[in-house]
Amino acid sequence: MFAGEAAHQSADESYPFYPNRNFYYMTGITEPNVIFVAAKFGGKVEETLFIQRADPWMARWVGETITPNEAQEASGVQNIELLDKFDSYIRSELDARVYKHLYADLETKSWEFPSKPANKFAAHAAVSYPYLSIHNLYPTICKFRVIKSREEIELIREAGKITADGIKYVMANAKPGMKEYELEAYFNFVLKSCGCTEFAFPTILAGGFNGTVLHYSENSGTVSDGSLVLLDLGAQYKYYNGDISYTFPVNGHFTARQKTIYDIVLRCNQEVSKMAKPGVAFQALNAFTREFYAEELMKIGLIQSPDELSKYYFHGVSHSLGLDTHDVGPYRDMDLAAGEVITNEPGLYIPEEVSVFVSRMIC
């Protein structure tokens, strides 16, 4: 498994580095250019981490790299080697032909598309060691990640708490006439004040009509008096993500129509929360939401039949939440289970009137 490497941005700049989430899940290592190998032979498993050799010159520019002791403490792996020994290690292990299978974390589901380090390695191994059967480990690890440990749930709770605090601060400072990015700055301030270095995803802060664009990201409009402000945002805390959505009137008062739509969305959110229990099919949440919305929107005359619902509601009500905001794994085809963390995010997007999005996190 490969931690990955910082992607080149422009000139001598690189994008910020984020470890491959499966690699982090298995090792707890956050640095680039680290490789984890687990070799099983004769019933015995040997784990090895390959880390970068210390470079005093580069340390003056970008800081120290992880030490062997730090790698052991973070990962629990005792055998630590230097990265420049990785190629010779692989040759010595695979040239002996004692292994028949190679498992790699191939996010693109095939080693035939060598866009990432694991895929490049698998493609090279397929040519150099044709006797090996190459398997994709990615789906297996992703399935592990569906059910969170107690420690993971606490980190997600903290990310959610920080996110909620940020929303409250935005609302406390919102006034008609402000720019969306000014409101966004209040959210950013809370996250930085709480020690969060990253966001779960690009913040969506949309006033008025902009809220009808599901993944609106410009955050550059003016929030006019009488309009609603839609927030869809999240803090990332120690690599675990929060994801909360909320809608409020910038002047502090709903119009009658805004209140009607808001109440429909809020009641849907509350009913989905009651429904989300171990043993309930994940897809049942989506089915209920569509049925609920169709009935309510027909009552207020917005649609005439359930077939018209997609005009105003066009996404799922939930997704898994964890190391990735839209977390991985086959949860969509499973029943809910203890230890899962999901979102509950029904929304209505009515271009000719209002947009309302209310969500919460369910553990």
Cβ-based neighbour number of residue 360 at 10 Å: 17
Q: Which tokens belong to 230? A: 């839609």
Please provide the average confidence, as pLDDT, over all residues in the chain: 95
Query: pLDDT at residue 113 above 80?
Result: no
Question: b or e along 124-154 (b: 16 or more beta carbons within 10 Å of the residue's beta carbon)?
Answer: ebeeebeebebebbbeebbeebbebeeebbe
pLDDT at 358 over 90: no
What percent of the chain shows pLDDT beyond 90? 90
pLDDT at 114: 59
* Joined tokens for residue 46: 């040997």
What is residue 356's predicted lDDT score, i.e. its pLDDT?
Answer: 81
Domain 8-144 indexed as CATH 3.40.350.10:
yes
Cα three-residue angle 360-169-324, rounded to 5 degrees = 40
CA-wise closest residue to 20 among 36, 4, 8, 34? 4
| Per-residue pLDDT tens digits for 21-64 | 999 999 999 999 999 999 999 899 999 999 999 999 999 999 99
The H-assigned helical ranges of 66-225 are: 68-75, 86-95, 117-128, 138-146, 150-173, 180-193
pLDDT at 287: 98
Say which residues have a Cβ less than 8 Å from residue 281's Cβ, sequence separation at least 6: 334, 335, 336
The answer to whether the CB of 355 falls within 8 A of the CB of 206 is yes
Instruction: Measure the CA–CA gap between 242 and 237, rounded to whole angstroms.
Output: 8
Give the pLDDT band (50/70/90) at residue 288.
very high
Contact 199, 236 (CB under 8 A): yes
The arithmetic mean of pLDDT across residues 113-133, rounded, is 89
- In this predicted structure, what is the pLDDT of residue 115? 74
Residue 204 has pLDDT above 80, yes or no: yes
pLDDT attached to residue 360: 79
The residue to which tokens 């909360």 are assigned: 244
Q: What stretch(es) of the chain map to CATH 3.90.230.10?
A: 147-362
How wide is the angle at C-alpha 22 spanned by C-alphas 21 and 23, nearest 5°? 90
In the chain, residues under CATH classification 3.40.350.10 are 8-144
Look up the pTM and report it. Answer: 0.94
The helix, strand and coil proportions of the chain, stated in percent and rounded to the nearest 5, come to 40, 20, 40
* Strand partners for 134: 102
For residue 63, give the 3-state DSSP assignment: coil
CB-based contact 298:305 (threshold 8 Å): yes
Mean pLDDT, residues 295-321: 97
Distance between terminal CA atoms of the chain? 29
Pair of tokens at residue 279: 């043993």
pLDDT in tens, 85-108: 999 999 999 988 889 999 999 986
| CATH among 3.90.230.10, 2.40.50.220, 3.40.30.10, 3.30.300.30 for 147-362 | 3.90.230.10
Is pLDDT above 60 for 110?
A: no
Q: Which run of H or of E encompasses 207?
A: strand 204-207
- Take residue 91 and report the two structure tokens written for it: 């040759």
Q: Above 90 in pLDDT, residue 305? A: yes
pLDDT given at position 109:
55
Residue 7 CB contacts under 8 Å (≥ 6 apart), including other chains? 14, 15
Residues 259-274: pLDDT tens digits? Answer: 999 999 999 999 999 9
Q: Please report the pLDDT score of residue 145 as a whole number.
A: 98
